[in-house]
């Protein structure tokens, strides 16, 4: 009965320890996250305009007050979420860059319906809108380059 095929192997079996690649953030990931920060900073003046004296002192009814409060609340929450996602992208969280991409995709799809209306606004608002869109797309694209993707995969294993 020496040739029992059901006998477990006698040699020690174990996983081979792979050397971990360096966790140095690639330039693409660094630049991508920095562009996402610039995107947020470029939108701050427009967000502050929502809380400006012109909005707060003009005569309005209760429905308009509710709508303005809703828009202001959405602006605060969206900035907080974007700041948090940027921090998590910087720390190498793969889910954060995917969430950023999903939110950007939703925003770009929604902008199809508001694009002509947005371009009729004041020149500085149109410029900031186009600048923010370009920064957001470029920053997100850099986070999905091969070197950045490899870094995010390595950070997931840590």
pLDDT tens column, 64-102: 888 888 888 888 899 999 999 999 999 999 999 999 999
d(CA 36, CA 141): 11
**How much is the pLDDT for 77?**
92
CA distances from 60 to 48, 52, 63, 70, 71 (A): 19, 15, 8, 15, 15
Above pLDDT 70, what percent of the chain? Answer: 87
d(CA 30, CA 34): 6
Check: pTM over 0.85? Answer yes or no.
no
Cα 134–140–141 angle (5° rounding)? Answer: 85
pLDDT tens column, 4-23: 888 877 777 677 665 555 56
Instruction: Judge whether 149 and 87 are in contact, CB under 8 Å.
Output: no
């Amino acid at each position: 009965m020496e040739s029992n095929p059901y006998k477990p192997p006698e040699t020690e079996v174990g996983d081979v320890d792979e050397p971990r690649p360096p966790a140095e953030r690639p330039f693409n990931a660094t630049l991508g996250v920095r562009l996402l920060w610039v995107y947020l900073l470029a939108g701050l003046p427009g967000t502050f305009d929502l809380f400006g004296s012109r909005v707060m002192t003009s005569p309005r009814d209760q429905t308009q007050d509710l709508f303005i409060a809703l828009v202001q609340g959405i602006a605060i929450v969206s900035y907080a979420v974007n700041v948090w996602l940027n921090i998590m992208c910087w720390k190498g969280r793969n889910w954060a860059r995917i969430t950023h991409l999903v939110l950007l995709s939703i925003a770009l799809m929604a902008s199809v319906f508001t694009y002509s209306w947005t371009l009729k606004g004041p020149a500085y608002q149109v410029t900031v809108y186009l600048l923010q869109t370009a920064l957001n797309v470029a920053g997100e694209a850099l986070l999905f380059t091969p070197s950045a993707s490899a870094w995010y995969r390595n950070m997931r294993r840590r």
